Amino acid sequence: MYRIAVLLLGLVLPLAAQHENEKPKHPFVGDPAAIEAGRALFAGGCAACHGAEGQGGRGPNLRERIYWHPVDEETLYRVIQKGVPGGGMPAAQLSEDQTWQVVAFVRSLTAPAIESPAPGNPLAGEALFWGKGGCGECHSIRGRGGKLGPDLTNVGATRPLPQLRQDILDPDASGVNGYKSVSVVLRSGATLAGVARNRTNYSLELQEANGSLHLLSMSEIQEIKLSKGSPMPKDYAQRLNKVELDDILAYLSRQSARPIEPKKEARGN
């Protein structure tokens, strides 16, 4: 369990580290207009090999390898401009500004969602989140909502938009660190059910749907039933149409524990 915890933490924490190490930032990075321009350029010239959302194909995945070996913006710029001689990637025929737009788009794939524009209507997404989507039954935002799933108050400030999309459409792929469904039968005969916030060979920290935490020693437990995957419903691809999904993503991408700082005006464009 702990190994899983460490691995999954790795999905989020290096993003933060990456931010701190990347100075100075080019003004296009994080600029919505530049990212959209970059998206179009990427679709035209890069997506054939790297995938439309940078998920990889003939060329490398630009979303996940970066967790282990983050590439800084200057390096991205250089690789786009010069290509990878002998490695199959041609030099892009792009101006300086266009290259930075592509960098801004690639960067947005791994940057926290609040740093990138999200298509969709956040107000409609809010209504869906707390209504038809049923998200608030398990997830909380600023103290409102359920206790079984991860708190989402700061999710836009910590997770990239493509990751959020995957979280909704394929929860098992996103991992369930600290939120695996668990039910236990105690040696006393009592039963408990909820999520395992942590579990080792020796102890289990079980959280019930009402938020109650139970600190259990394994010696107290007769039997543990654990779900393999995420307890989150797996059918959101059917339950939500594309517009609704974009709306929820727009709402989630704006969730930040501290206020979102306005972007400085970008150069050019």
Partner 1 sequence: MIRHPLLLVFLSVAGLGQVRYEDILRGPAENWLTYAGDFQAQRHSALKQITTANAGSLVPKWVHHIPKANGLRTNPIVYNGVMYVTASNELRALDARTGTLIWQYKDTRSKKEAVNRGAAILGDRVFFVTGDIHLVALDRRTGGVIWEKQYGKVEDGLYASSAPLALKDQVLVGVAGGDTGMRGYITSISASTGEELWRTYTIPAKGEPGSETWGKLIEYGGGATWLSGTYDPELNLVYWTAGNAWPDFFGRDREGDNLYSSSLLALDAANGKMKWYFQFTPHDTHDWDAQAWPVLVDLPYRGKMRKLVLHANRNGFLYVLDRVTGEYLNATPLVEKLDWASGIDAKGRPILVPGKDPTATGNRVCPSVRGATNWMSPSFDPVTGLFYVMTLEQCDVYTSSSLDPEPKKNFSGGGAGPKPADIGEFFLRAYDPKTGAKKWEYPVVTPTADAWAGTVSTAGGVVFFGDDQGQLVAVDARNGEHLWHFGMGEGLTASPITDAVDGKQYVAIASATAIFSFGLFEPAAREPAPKIKLQ
Nearest one of 33, 36, 41 to 99, comparing CA atoms:
41
Distance of closest approach, residue 43 Cβ to partner 1, in angstroms: 30
Q: Which is nearer to partner 1, 78 or 214 (CB)?
A: 214
Q: Are 214 and 208 in contact (CB under 8 A)?
A: yes
| DSSP H helices in 117-160 | 122-130, 155-158
Extract the tokens encoding 98: 């266009």
What the block records as the tokens of 48 is 């054939």
- Give the residue with the Cβ less far from partner 1, 102 or 232: 232
d(CA 122, CA 166): 18
Task: Choose between 35 and 157: whose C-beta lies nearer to partner 1.
Answer: 157
263: helix, strand or coil: coil
Judge whether 223 and 208 are in contact, CB under 8 Å: no
Q: Which is nearer to partner 1, 261 or 265 (CB)?
A: 261
Structure tokens at 90: 């041609």
Question: What Å distances lie between residue 156 and 92, 118, 232, CA to CA?
Answer: 32, 11, 19
- Output 95 or 222, the one with its CB closest to partner 1: 222
Give the count of beta carbons closer than 10 Å to the beta carbon of residue 71. Answer: 18
Least distance CB 62 / partner 1 (angstroms)? 21
- Of 142 and 267, which CB lies nearer to partner 1 in the complex structure? 142
Residues in touch with partner 1 (CB under 8 A): 5, 13, 15-16, 19, 140, 142-143, 147, 151, 153-154, 157-158, 178, 184, 186-188, 190, 197-198, 200-203, 205, 207-208, 210-228, 256-258
Residue 128 C-beta: closest distance to partner 1, Å: 20
CB of 17 to partner 1, least distance (A): 9
C-beta of 114: minimal distance to partner 1 in Å?
9
- Least distance (Å) between residue 12 CB and partner 1: 8
Helix (H, G, I), strand (E, B) or coil at 137: helix
Place of tokens 């290096």: 14
